[in-house]
Structure formats: C-alpha cells, structure tokens
Structure 1
C-alpha cells in the first residue's frame, strides 16, 4: 500500500460519518416536526412567551392592602431600576424607580436618597413621571400612594 491509499480510507470514513450524522439530523427533525404534539407545544410556548413579554411591559394595579405584595413589588422595582441604570437604559430605569417611589411607605425619604445619589437630570425625570406612574400602579380610580397624596414636587429645601 502507498501512503496516499493509507490516508484515503480514514477520509472516506470521516465523510461517511459526517453524511450519516447530517442524514440522521434531518430524519430526526422531520420526525419531530411531524409529531402531533410538536405544533401544540410550540404554540403554547409562543403564547406563554408573548404573555410574559406583555406582562413585563404592562402596568398593573397593586393590591395596596397587602403589605407583603407591596414590599416585594417595591424591592423588585428598585432592583430593576438599578439594573437598567447600570446598563445605560435610563428611560426604563427611571420608570422602575418611579414605580418604587409610588409604592414606598416613606416616599419623601426615598426621594431624598435619590436626590443625593442620582444625577440631577434623572432625579428630575423621576419627579416628572411620578404622577403618571403612581396612577398606573394604583389604578385610575386611586390617586394616592404610600398612604399619602401624590407628590409632584418634593420639598427640596
């Protein structure tokens, strides 16, 4: 045997295995796609994903009579706001922080903290969004948050 015939058979075997693997993948994909529950599972997965994205973008009413739900929502909004701001997504970050202020039991203290830690333009944006966000968090019929009236301008002096 020559050296060229010795390297010929491993190449043929490798090509054969590659073709066999691709053929198996095509066969398996066809079988999967033709399975009756595949389309149902795919539709359910897409519907669930669509609902999840719409819930994350929707404003919804918080039950202000449930302190544990309010606390959880407050912490979640603070975390999301910090995450968004750290990524440079200022618009969503301000929205989440305004929602946290809207459900906070001591909004003046939180606003004072924000005034000291955030850049002035972000702090002003929170102030501007607060009435709209508070109304969306607590529902259109309620115009209060944290047990007090909506504060459009905190006492900055």
Structure 2
C-alpha cells in the first residue's frame, strides 16, 4: 500500500459514515412526518408546552423570597430583550410585572423614569394596577405585591 491510499482510506470511510448518517436522519424524518397522527401530536405537544409556560409565568409564590427574586430578574431580562427587539407591548408588560413584585418599587420606577422614553414609562404606570391585580389573584401566597406605584 502506498501512502496516498493509507491517507485516503480514513477520509473515504468518514465521508461514507457521514452520508449514511444523513440518509438515516432523512429517512426517519420523512417517516415521522408522514405518520397519520404526526400533526395532531405536534399540535397537542405545542399546546401543552404553551400552557405549561403560561402557568409557570403567571403563578409566582410570593411567600418564597428566592422565587420572587428569580421571577423579578427573569421579568427584567425578558422586558429588556423585548424592548431591544422592538416588541414594546410585551417589553412594557414584563417590566410592569417586575415592578409589581419588586421589594423597592419606588427605586425601580425612578430608574425606569430616568432610562426609558417617557411614553414607555407612562405605559408601565398605566398597566401596573391591572398587572398587579392579575398577579395578586393568581399568586399562591400573601406577599408584598404593590397595586399602585408611589412616584412622589
């Protein structure tokens, strides 16, 4: 055997394995997609995932400080992400949820007043009572959720 065939053999084997793997994936993906109940199962799975996400986002145990802290930080991050993508409606909702569970809402509102455009800050003020009431009615514990921002 010469040196060319010694270096070519592993390359041919690797290419053959790669092509076989891709063929295997394509075959089973086609088989899965052509199954008669595929779309129904997929829709049911997505519906269940959406319900799980909705439930986990709307119910926060206000008696657990660690969960409240996690929820607060999550809402701030999601609000910032939405605003950076231009999704102002969801961004304002997430920021209002963060204010609703914040231990020092006056300080957070003062920060928002300084950093956000006036129309977004005004939207947070408008939505805050509704969001706080929604969170109060869906929360399990009796934590310190505010209902009105104190801006003075």
TM-score range, shorter chain: 0.5 to 0.7
Within a 5 Å distance, the mapping from 1:65-144 to structure 2 comes to 65-139=63-137
Aligned length in residues: 126
Deviation at 1:50, TM superposition (A): 1.6
- Give the C-alpha shift of residue 84 in structure 1: 0.5
Using the alignment, how far apart are the partners of 1:31 and 1:125 within structure 2? 46
**TM-score in terms of structure 2 length:** 0.67
Could you say if the C-alpha distance between residues 65 and 29 of structure 1 is closer, same or farther in structure 2, counting changes exceeding 3 Å? same
Query: Shift of the alpha carbon at 1:114?
Result: 0.3
Q: Which has the higher contact order (CA 8 A, sep 6+)?
A: 2
Question: What is aligned with 1:51?
Answer: 48
Q: Which has the larger radius of gyration?
A: 1
Q: Please, what is the CA RMSD of the aligned residues?
A: 3.4
* Deviation of the 1:70 alpha carbon: 0.8
Structure 1 residues 98, 33: closer, same or farther in 2, change over 3 A? same
TM-score of the superposition, structure 1-length normalised? 0.65
- Residue in structure 2 matched with residue 155 of structure 1 by the alignment: 151
Distance change (3 Å), C-alpha of 1:104 and 1:49: same
Where do 4+ consecutive residues of structure 1 move more than 6 Å? Answer: 25-28
Give the unaligned 5+ runs of structure 1.
1-24
